[in-house]
Amino acid sequence: MALAAFIAMSVLAGGNAVAIRFSNRELDPLWGAALRFALAAALLVMLMAVLRVSPPRGRALTGALIYGALAIGGAFALAYYGFVEIHAGLGQTLLATVPLATLFLAVLQRQERLRLDALIGGVIALAGIAVMSQATVSADVSVLSLLAVVGAAFCFAEAAILVRHFPPVHPVALNAVGMGTGAVLLLLGALVARDTIEVPRETDTWLALAYLVPIGSVVVFILYIVVLRYWEASRAAYEFVLIPVFTVVLSAWLDDEPLGVGLLLGGPLVLLGVYVGALRRSRPSPGSSDVAEVA
């Protein structure tokens, strides 16, 4: 079940960065993100009513609020800002640093051990992403935009770690609270940044939202929480390594992102890294129940 959810969310999330690029062409970034997640939260609340899912309470509610503040409010404020200037393919490759960031932060917070296979897989995958990204950089981009996307990666990483410290919550309820929290924070950010608050008029913007809300937000994030129930945070984060393979293709097709032979050379390395670091199960050494680790 976890493997199927992992593959499905990686494929579906591949269109998110491209859709964000189209949204950013009409809507200011923070307002566009706030509108997306407000609509997604409303859809999830209706889904909770249909499924008769109870809202979280106590520590579970606290965890859902923190998850929303980091994974939605913080991460997407930075990502939407970065994607104004950065092509979707390059931006998504930068987000592929999430697994290594998650592993690093999880080790520092003593939630996981530093597994050798995860480290090797991450390095292989990043090598593939470096090859792929060479074909996407055709113009100068600001350091601030690059740092914004890297900052979003660390927000995603920390959110996945922190949510595991709290009681489990139904994926629909967790994302309803999280996206509602994130939407409020993003709206406040939009007001502070003096974004123009407007209803979209362009057809491309509505098409982007039609993908981002029900599929890119509701379906993808529910699948992500399902995976987190079965896999460690650093292992689940390998979706961010697999997503660029699909994003680069879609961005080249729909957004005229320049491509070269990098995709053909880097794609297999990315897939190999995902297999080594996330999908292949390590064999414990004799007399030990733990996987291999780096001292």
Confirm if 37 and 222 have CB atoms less than 8 A apart: no
Is 74 within a domain? yes
d(CA 158, CA 265): 31
Q: Which pLDDT belongs to residue 29?
A: 94
Is 290 within a domain? no
* 145-170 residue pLDDT tens: 888 988 998 999 899 888 888 898 89
Short-list 10, 6, 35, CA closest to 20:
35
d(CA 293, CA 295): 6
Is 186 within a domain? yes
Is 142 within a domain? yes
Confirm if 172 and 53 have CB atoms less than 8 A apart: yes
Is 179 within a domain? yes
Is 177 within a domain? yes
Distances (CA, A) of 70 to 28, 106, 234, 238: 20, 15, 16, 18
CB proximity list for 189: less than 8 A, separation 6 or greater = 30, 34, 73, 77
Alpha helix ranges (H) inside the chain = 2-13, 16-24, 29-51, 58-67, 75-82, 88-95, 98-108, 116-134, 143-162, 171-192, 203-211, 220-230, 233-236, 239-254, 262-274
Q: Which pLDDT belongs to residue 132?
A: 64
Query: Into how many domains does the chain fold?
Result: 1
Q: Which domain holds residue 265?
A: 2-279
Low-confidence ranges of the chain (pLDDT < 50): 138, 283-295
Is 285 within a domain? no
Q: Is the pTM of this model over 0.85?
A: no
Tokens of 242: 């697999």
Is 295 within a domain? no
| Number of neighbouring beta carbons within 10 Å of residue 151 | 17
Tokens of 20: 């964000």
Q: Which pLDDT belongs to residue 287?
A: 38
Q: Which pLDDT belongs to residue 295?
A: 25
Tokens of 82: 């970065």
User: Rounded mean pLDDT of the chain?
Assistant: 83
